[in-house]
A and B are shown apart, each in its own frame.
Chain A
Amino acid sequence: MLRFLTERAIGMAVTLFLVSIMVFVIMELPPGDYADRYAFRKYSGTGLTITEADVAAIRAELGLDKAAILRYFDWIGGIILRGDFGQAYAFETSVNSIIGEKAWLTLGLLLVTLIITYVVSIPIGIFAAVRRGSAVDYGLTVFSYLGLALPNFLLALVLLYFANSWFGAAVGGLFSAEYADAPWSLAKFWDLVKHMWLPAFVLAWSAMAYQIQTVRATMSDEIGKLSVTAARARGVPEGRLLLKYPARLAINPIASTIGFDVNRIFSELPIVAAVLGLTELGDLLLKSFLDLDMNVAGAILLLLTVVIVVMNFLSDLLLAWLDPRIRLGG
């Protein structure tokens, strides 16, 4: 187990390094850089014409004229050594101060979504597998797939509209005005919950579809296995039978994908956030991407990918603990 642990830890470090390069590449992908935007912003409303030289000067000032490899090391060096993600150009402040509290809100939203996803999908998946081919099974399948099939942005808007006109649900944002600046309290937390259920529900619904189907498929595979048939023949009660053999194994594929569920959920987040007017990292990512404010985009991407990599690492450990074959074979 120790060897397995070390191996995975080294693997994770290598992945993190590669990820940082990949994130940097993504930051570099869109044509142009912030220097143009900055130039126009700086001279906006002044009636000045901006020359190439002005832009070049700003580019040098922002350090965007250096070779990509140097900028990579500046960037990653600042993050590792000083925890400094650089300058958020569009906001004229540091990335850290922009991201700050939003990172926690985002993490909270992701966690809530994950919990909803698993709490709902595992039992339903098992249930559907046991009742395969029945009306209940298809009903559940249709329900779970609706979440997946309806594009999230549409789902978000339609749910927002109806939640609002039927229950007077709060519109947009994560906090009401009176709590946005208030210190944390029970009332503020409740306010957050009132705002968060809708996006969490939208995000979880589509993630659920995937998990329900995975649990259902694995369970079906396992139920048909001879070991289960044999146990049934021995007279093991049906409920215990399910939990003892197939259900345990059916958790495997789920455990192996926690990190990627986070990824999937976050992938949807910017779009849902845009529709619902949430002010968290997903929305900020989308905005900064469109603004070419690449330090902000890069910081968010990097933070998120680190979370995912670490989660994957943990899920590998979990998996190895659940299924000895992997840790011995790996």
Chain B
Amino acid sequence: MTTTIRARLMLGASLSLIAGAAAAADCPAVTVADMQGLSPAFPQQFELAELEAAASCDLAFQENPEIADLNARIMGNPDLPPVAERLPAEPLVVAPYAEIGSYGGVVTGLSRGTESGTSDILSVRHVNLVRYSDDLKTIVPNVAKAWEWNDDFTQLTFTLRKGHKWSDGAPFTAEDVAFWYNDIITNPAITEKTPDRWLFEGEPAKVEAVDEVTVRFSFPAPQPNLLNRWAVDYGQTFQPRHFLGQFMDRYNADAAALREQHGFETEAEAVNFYYGNSDWKDVPSAMMKDMSKAEAIGKAAVPTLESHIVVRENSEGRRLVANPYFHMVDTAGNQLPYIPEIREDYVPEREVVNLRILNGEVVWKQQAMELNDFPLLKENEAKGNYTAELAPTLGETVFYSFNRNHKDPVLAEIFSDVRFSQAMSLGIDREEIKEIVYLGQGTPAQAVPAEAATVNFVTDEHLTQFIEHDPDAANALLDEMGLTRDANGIRQRPDGKPLTVRIVFASQGSPVQLHELTRGYWADLGLQVDIREVTSDEYRAQGNGNDVDVFIWKNDGITGPFISQDATMLVPPFGDFFNPGGGYEWVNWMNSDGAEGIEPPADIKKLWDLAEDFLKQPLGSAESDRIGAEIIDIHADNLLKIGVVAGIPSPYVYRNDLANLQPLTAKTYDFYWTYPYRPQQWFLKAE
């Protein structure tokens, strides 16, 4: 693999030399629709040298005529040099889907609030070292020009682009990647605890800048699937050392004075004023925290490599403008993005969101759109001059996971009995749910932590056990457990109290009608069921606090590229902060070597080792499939998450003037929403 990539690049480079010497014709305006006979090494994009060589041409660069005005809106940015100097010496050349676009317009999007439903619009501007192509199978270069593994997958080397610059014009180099890892996330003075996912078997990796454009990650154990993370992850594995480093004594002799000048007591405080404690780019920005301080320092937001940068943020929304140093051009040499501005409004109320869409005020929206609203959206398409489409989702059934580590020991015991989960699953009428809640779409299925279409080791057996609607069998199981009914038909717990289950859910994670139906099904089995809708934040707080009876969310984060490098979904607590899955006392027991918490059952205990081994095998290899199957068996045997209906299509809408939009292969957070579909080459067509 390694050799071929390098070979192609070498070939491209040498060809370009020849071509450059020969003739300097204009390059063909290649599009995905019409590749004009060219077949790049990676789908739909070229390295500059590769294109110029293949088409024996010379690409001249153009810019957005408004770019100087946009630049003026970015706090602290100096006047712009010409476009050719702003682009890397090796820009990424992107073939637009349908046509070469034109500059101008504003993409309007809606999210619910700061850190709530924002990843949709975040993904529009997102970049990372690499990217998944829209086939969701091929990893292609992005910020990194190339990458190379060593033979046993313990060393990964990225090659960056020569002359690449941050959004403020400062050079972006390998040092900035090393800075992110060595000085921020593994530096206890800045980040108290390194995120587990960036530790490997508990050890940090070694990250070194070999030269200006070469950065090398060395891992203590093989990580054959880790490249996926750079392709699907929300985080940015590079931070501007020239800017954040100025607050750190190590990089700036006057850092202490600078910190004092701006009222920061520690390095951490200063860095986090901009960095916000997290790779998650959605934490309140410096503008939100203290605009006057941000002005004194001279930057409203930390410099970025993304296609757009936030220039204004408050509790009502965000405004972004194009990054004048963005590293992509189209095949006609126009610097991307075409769309100079993004406006994101926070609208928490779903009906106002719908009304705005119906009004044609929203250019792009896909996150948190419910299938339920599709008939309304589709019927009003013409009136609002927009289009509503359905995209497949990957897996993503809603799950019910009974809290086996419940704080109430009686409930913990009942929920730990797999017969209980089996009975609850059998009590659910999935066909009815499919008809009523999901407009007849989707397939009834259980929830397992791997998406069947993206891995080889999930069987039909895993997905279809206990999915038939069989209240008699369910009742028999509950009777067998000794949960007898009282005179009113309510089942009694062993301590004589009525068996009560509270369904606490957020409508962001699952539709309310589903829970009303489920309430009915379980009430028929003799449970007292109470349902309560809360905000996502409240659900997450309760879930992470181990305060719920049933964990309820969408079963996401389970595609092959995801689980092969991040075992979060495979081991307790079977999820992350955003999507908690239970088993917190088991986790405590493991983390404290048995001093605290509850000892997990033997098979659950095995999951940790299995998951560790799973990450060491290349996804799709026989060994990987064998371990994967074993993990899924354990999940299925315990029926950890009761699934409902999977494969439900989900709506997205776009205004009709949004061009170069590719129908979504799948609408999923697992590939970071729009990232595979290259929103940089979207443009707004004048009517």
B576 nearest in chain A by CB position? A47
Question: Taking CB as reference atom, which chain A residue is nearest B115?
Answer: A41
B195 pairs with A44, CB closer than 8 A: no
B497 at the interface (CB under 8 A from A): no
Complex: A316 Cα to B50 Cα, angstroms: 83
Q: Is B537's CB under 8 angstroms from A160's CB?
A: no
Q: Does A28 contact B (CB under 8 A)?
A: no
B138: chain A residues within 8 A (beta carbon):
none
Contact B537 A291 (CB under 8 A): yes
Interface 0/1 of A4-41, CB less than 8 Å to B: 00000000000000000000000000001000110011
Min Cβ gap A43→B in Å is 7
Contact partner of B278 among A45, A161, A276, CB < 8 A? A45
Q: Is the CB of B577 within 8 A of A44?
A: yes
User: Would A290 and B535 count as touching, CB distance under 8 A?
Assistant: yes
Whether A275 is near chain B, meaning CB under 8 Å from some CB there, is yes
Supposing A32-B541, A48-B196, A49-B573 touch, asked if A173 and B284 sit within 8 A by C-beta, the answer is no
B126 within 8 A of A: no
Checking A47, A173, A291 against B568 with a beta-carbon cut-off of 8 angstroms, the contacting residue is A47
In residues 275-296 of chain A, which contact B (Cβ within 8 Å)?
A: 275-277, 279, 284, 287, 290-291
Docked Cα-Cα span, A36 to B316, in Å, equals: 25
Residue of A nearest to B535 (CB): A290
| A177 to B344 Cα, complex, angstroms | 10
A308 at the interface (CB under 8 A from B): no
- CB of A98 closer than 8 Å to a CB of B: yes
- In this complex, how many residues of chain B approach chain A with their Cβ under 8 Å: the count is 54
- The answer to whether residues A277 and B349 also contact, given A171-B361, A290-B535 and a CB cut-off of 8 A, is yes
A45 touches B114 (CB 8 A): no
Distance of A173 Cα from B361 Cα, bound (Å): 13
Is there contact, CB below 8 Å, between B544 and A50? yes
Q: How far is the CB of A199 from chain B (nearest CB, A)?
A: 12
Which residues of chain B come closer than 8 Å to A177, judged between CB atoms?
Answer: 108, 343, 345
Q: Tell yes or no: A185 within 8 A of B by CB.
A: no
Q: Which of A46, A49, A277, A287 contacts B584 (CB 8 A)?
A: A49
B8 at the interface (CB under 8 A from A): no
What is the CA–CA distance of A180 and B344 in the complex, to the nearest angstrom? Answer: 13
Indicate whether A45 sits within 8 Å of B289 (C-beta atoms), given known contacts A37-B541, A275-B352.
no
Asked if B351 and A91 sit within 8 Å, CB to CB, the answer is no
Cβ contact of A274, chosen from B193, B283, B349, cutoff 8 A: B349
| Contact between chains at A47 and B537 (CB < 8 Å) | no
Which residues of A are found within 8 Å of B289, using beta-carbon distances?
A: 91-93
Mask, A46-80, CB within 8 Å of B = 1, is: 11111100000000000000000000000000000
Check A236 for interface membership: any CB of B closer than 8 A: no
Q: Which residues of B contact A287 (CB under 8 A)?
A: 113, 348
Return chain A residues, CB-CB under 8 Å to B566. 47
Q: A205 CA to B343 CA in the complex, in Å?
A: 34
Chain B residue nearest to A161 in the complex (CB): B355
B356 within 8 A of A: yes
Decide: A47 and B195 in contact? CB cutoff 8 A.
yes
Q: How far is the CA of A298 from the CA of B316 in the complex (A)?
A: 20
Chain A residues 148 to 182 lying within 8 A of chain B, measured CB to CB, are 157, 160-161, 164, 171-173, 177, 180-181
Taking the complex as formed, is A42 at the interface, i.e. its CB lies under 8 A from any CB of chain B? yes
Chain A residue contacts of B349, Cβ below 8 A: 172, 274-277
Given contacts A45-B577, A92-B288, contact A172 B280 (CB under 8 A): no
Assembly CA distance A300 to B356 (angstroms): 29
Q: Which residues on B sit within 8 Å (CB–CB) of A180?
A: 316-317
B655 CB within 8 Å of chain A: no
Q: Report chain B residues within 8 Å CB of A46.
A: 193, 195-197, 278, 577
Report yes or no: B195 in contact with A279, Cβ–Cβ below 8 A.
no
How near does chain A come to B579, taking the closest CB pair, in angstroms? 11
Within 8 A of A (CB), among B185-241: 193, 195-197, 234-235
Which residues of A from 72 to 104 have beta carbons under 8 Å from B?
Answer: 90-93, 97-98
Residues of A close to B197: CB separation below 8 A? 46-47
Query: Is the beta-carbon distance between A171 and B359 smaller than 8 angstroms?
Result: yes
Residue of B whose beta carbon sits closest to that of A273: B349
Contact assessment for A93 and B195 in the assembled complex, using a CB-CB cutoff below 8 Å: no
State the Cβ distance, B315 to closest chain A Cβ, in Å. Answer: 6
* Residue B587 interfacial (CB < 8 Å): yes
CB distance from A85 to the nearest CB of B (A): 15
A290 touches B538 (CB 8 A): yes
- Number of contacts between A and B (CB, 8 Å)? 114
Q: How far is the CB of A32 from chain B (nearest CB, A)?
A: 7
User: Shortest Cβ distance from A330 into chain B, in angstroms?
Assistant: 44
Q: Is the CB of B578 within 8 A of A44?
A: yes
Residues of B within 8 A of A92 (CB): 283-284, 288-289
- Note all chain A residues with C-beta closer than 8 A to B196: 46-48
Tell me whether B591 is interfacial, beta carbon within 8 Å. Answer: yes
| Docked-complex contact B280 and A290, CB < 8 angstroms | no
Do A45 and B345 touch (CB < 8 A)? no
Complex CA distance for A173 and B591, rounded to whole angstroms? 48
Chain B min CB distance to A226 (Å): 55
Contacts of A44 in B (CB 8 A): 278, 280, 577-578
Minimum Cβ distance to chain B for residue A177 (Å): 6
In the bound complex, residues from chain A placing their C-beta under 8 Å from that of B591 are 49
Q: Do B347 and A274 touch (CB < 8 A)? A: no
- The interface bits of chain B over 535-574 (1 if a CB of A lies within 8 angstroms of the residue's CB, else 0) are 1011011001100000000000000000000101000010
In the complex, what residues of B have CB within 8 A of residue A284's CB?
315
Known contacts A32-B541, A45-B279; decide if A40 and B347 are in contact (CB<8 Å): no
Q: In the assembled complex, how far is the CB of residue B48 from the closest CB belonging to chain A, in whole angstroms?
A: 35
A160: which B residues are within 8 A, CB to CB?
Answer: 352, 355
- Tell me which residues across on chain A come within 8 A of B568, comparing CB atoms: 47
How far apart are the CA atoms of A31 and B343 in the complex, in Å?
37
Does B154 touch A at the CB level, under 8 Å?
no
**B657 interface contact, C-beta 8 A:** no
Residues of B within 8 A of A37 (CB): 537, 541
Is B515 part of the binding interface, using a Cβ–Cβ cutoff of 8 Å? no
CA distance A251 to B627 in the complex (A): 81
Q: Verify B355–A98 contact, CB threshold 8 A.
A: no
Q: Which of A42, A45, A50, A51 has the most CB of B within 10 A?
A: A45
Say if the beta carbon of B312 comes within 8 Å of chain A.
Answer: yes
Query: Which chain A positions have C-beta within 8 A of B312?
Result: 181
B278 neighbours in A (Cβ, 8 Å): 42, 44-46
Q: Which of A45, A51, A98, A164 sits near B280, CB closer than 8 Å?
A: A45
Tell me which of B284, B317, B573, B584 contacts A93 (CB under 8 A).
B284
Which residue on chain A has the smallest CB distance to residue B356? A171
A45, B486: Cα distance in complex, Å: 45
- Asked if B516 CB lies within 8 Å of chain A CBs, one says no
CB contact between A40 and one of B288, B541, B588 (< 8 Å): that residue:
B541
Residues of A within 8 A of B538 (CB): 290
Cβ of B290 under 8 Å from chain A: yes
Choose among B193, B315, B356, B577 the residue that contacts A91 (Cβ–Cβ < 8 A).
B315
B348, B568, B577 — which one has the most chain A CB atoms within 10 A of its CB?
A: B577
Residues 237-287 (chain A) with a chain B CB within 8 angstroms? 274-277, 279, 284, 287
Q: For residue B283, which residues in chain A have a CB less than 8 angstroms away from its CB?
A: 92
Q: List 9 A-B contacts (CB under 8 A).
A: A32-B541, A45-B577, A46-B197, A51-B588, A164-B359, A172-B347, A275-B351, A279-B316, A291-B537
The 10 closest A-B pairs by CB, nearest first: A46-B195, A47-B196, A277-B352, A172-B352, A47-B197, A44-B577, A45-B280, A92-B284, A279-B316, A93-B289
**Interface residues in chain B, defined as those with a beta carbon under 8 Å from any beta carbon in chain A:** 108, 113-115, 193, 195-197, 234-235, 277-280, 283-284, 288-291, 312, 315-317, 319, 343, 345, 347-349, 351-352, 355-356, 359, 361, 534-535, 537-538, 540-541, 544-545, 566, 568, 573, 576-578, 584, 587-588, 591
Interface residues, chain A, CB within 8 Å of chain B?
32, 36-37, 40-51, 90-93, 97-98, 157, 160-161, 164, 171-173, 177, 180-181, 274-277, 279, 284, 287, 290-291
Q: 16 new A-B pairs (CB below 8 Å) besides A180-B317, A279-B315? A: A36-B544, A45-B235, A45-B576, A46-B196, A46-B197, A46-B278, A49-B584, A49-B587, A91-B284, A93-B284, A93-B288, A98-B315, A171-B355, A275-B351, A275-B352, A277-B349
